[in-house]
Each structure stands twice: as C-alpha cells, then as structure tokens.
Amino acid sequence: MASDAVLELTDDNFEQEVVSSDLPVLVDFWAEWCMPCRMLAPVIDELAGEFAGKVKVGKVNTDDSREVSVKYGISAIPTIILFNKGEVVRKFVGVTPKSDFAEELSKY
C-alpha cells in the first residue's frame, strides 16, 4: 500500500469496511503481478487523498482475497467498483482516466 488513506481490504474485513459503510467506497481489485494495476495505483492514492472524509478508498488483492473477488465477479484486473450503501453503483474495468473516477465520486 502506497498511501495511508487507502484501506487494505480482505475477505475478513470487506463486509464491515465496504458493505456496511455509511460512506461510498471505491474498491480497487488488483494483484501484485498486474502491470496495469501498478500503473493505476498512483491514481487510486491521489483519489483517496482528494476525497478523504467523503469517500472511502480501498484495495483488494485478488490473489489474497479470492472469496470477495469471486463474489463480485472479478474476471479481469484492474477492476474498480464504486459501492454506495453496500450496493454496486459503478464498475470500471482496465486502466481508467482519473477524471472518470473523479466525475463519478463528485456525485457523492
């Protein structure tokens, strides 16, 4: 994890940190070996800082947390899902411009 503002999400804490969250949560499903995931990491860190207090931002390592990855149908990474009140409201697959994320997050 590069930023203190980004939560490390796992099979064990996903329900509490994401599904039960009062704030919207942007979740980055990634893996250490995934080069596009590494390219996207600084963008996720920046968003976590810019939207601190308004939106939670977290990362799920798909190699370590297979249960939650399967539950949300992650078949390609990076996949970034925005949750609001425990529900999936938007899914981004692949490297996505920061502006696309910021536009979506600004709604909350």
Give catalytic residues, as residue numbers: 34, 37
> Cβ(58)–Cβ(3) under 8 Å?
no
Q: How far apart are the first and last CA of the chain?
A: 25
Residue keyed to tokens 């963008």: 43
Q: State the Cα–Cα distance between residues 25 and 75, nearest whole angstrom.
A: 20
Cα 53 to Cα 2, 5, 47, distances in angstroms: 18, 10, 11
